């Protein structure tokens, strides 16, 4: 075989080897799980009972999933970090309910997995259902829990936009985004640069305001696994309920509907 043909074969082989397979494409899809409340009983499906959560953790372990920090996934999607391991999954919890400290946190310490909490700080040490600043500090100091913003008091931006004048609404949005970030950073000595949209409400105007406030990533409440092609300011999450056990939990992880 002449030299030119050898070169052609080598180039063809290089192209073939570099092409991503379907398996590697699936590996790049990362489920970001969203929880809200935990407890020994479930008065509604949003409260995930401890045995159910343990069964979900067992499913992840037995099916080869790796629980990774949300910040690692965000860095990857932003193109500034390496890809997480194949079959990675993220655990997040919104709002700052006390049940997160009482039921989720002990399991995170026992099994040594990372969690990201999205907190609206107006409730902390104020509302009876919410954690205290001391409890948040204990979680942060464990090295397992990252604490990020859920705005200052979890408003419905659609309602507020109808209620307020345009200048007042702009001021309100800036307060919700900036005060939450500042309060969490001041109380906990952390860096806050990620946001969970309250009620999953967002638009281009809100995204622009969030970027101006210093947020590098934001998350909605619906969708399938996150992928590198997603908008980093509207990353999808998968809501988990008490009903998601066994095969139902497996189907939830595999869901691709956006």
* Prediction pTM value: 0.88
199-223, pLDDT tens digit by residue?
999 999 999 999 999 999 999 998 8
β strands within 25-128, DSSP E: 32-35, 37-39, 47-49, 66-67, 88-95, 115-119
Domains annotated for the chain, with CATH where assigned, are: 3-254 (3.20.20.370)
- pLDDT value, residue 30: 96
| Residue showing tokens 């056990």 | 245
Between CA 168 and CA 164 the distance in angstroms is: 6
The answer to whether 224 and 37 are in contact (CB under 8 A) is no
Between CA 115 and CA 145 the distance in angstroms is: 5
**How deeply is 159 buried, as exposed, middle or buried, from its count of CB atoms within 10 A (0-12, 13-18, 19+)?**
exposed
The answer to whether 147 and 95 are in contact (CB under 8 A) is no
The two tokens of residue 30 are 């990362």
pLDDT under 50 in the chain at which residues? 3, 7-26, 256-258
DSSP-based three-state secondary structure for 121: coil
């Amino acid at each position: 075989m002449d030299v030119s043909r050898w070169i052609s074969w080598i180039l063809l082989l290089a192209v073939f080897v570099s092409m991503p397979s379907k398996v590697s494409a699936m590996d790049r899809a990362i489920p970001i799980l969203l929880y809200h409340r935990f407890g020994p009983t479930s008065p509604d499906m949003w409260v995930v009972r401890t045995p159910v959560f343990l069964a979900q953790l067992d499913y992840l372990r037995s099916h080869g999933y790796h629980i990774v920090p949300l910040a690692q996934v965000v860095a990857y999607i932003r193109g500034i970090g390496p890809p997480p391991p194949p079959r990675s999954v993220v655990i997040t919890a919104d709002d700052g309910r006390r049940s997160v400290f009482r039921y989720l946190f002990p399991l995170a310490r026992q099994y040594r997995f990372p969690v990201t909490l999205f907190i609206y700080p107006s409730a902390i040490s104020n509302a009876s259902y919410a954690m205290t600043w001391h409890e948040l500090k204990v979680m942060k100091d464990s090295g397992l829990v990252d604490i990020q913003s859920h705005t200052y008091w979890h408003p419905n931006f659609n309602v507020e936009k109808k209620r307020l004048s345009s200048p007042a609404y702009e001021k309100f949005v800036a307060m919700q985004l900036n005060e939450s970030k500042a309060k969490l950073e001041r109380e906990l000595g952390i860096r806050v640069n990620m946001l969970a949209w309250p009620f999953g409400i967002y638009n281009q105007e809100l995204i622009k305001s969030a970027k101006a406030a210093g947020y590098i990533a934001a998350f909605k409440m619906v969708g399938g696994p996150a992928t590198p092609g997603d908008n980093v300011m509207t990353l999808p999450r998968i809501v988990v309920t008490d009903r998601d056990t066994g095969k139902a939990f497996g189907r939830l992880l595999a869901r691709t509907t956006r």
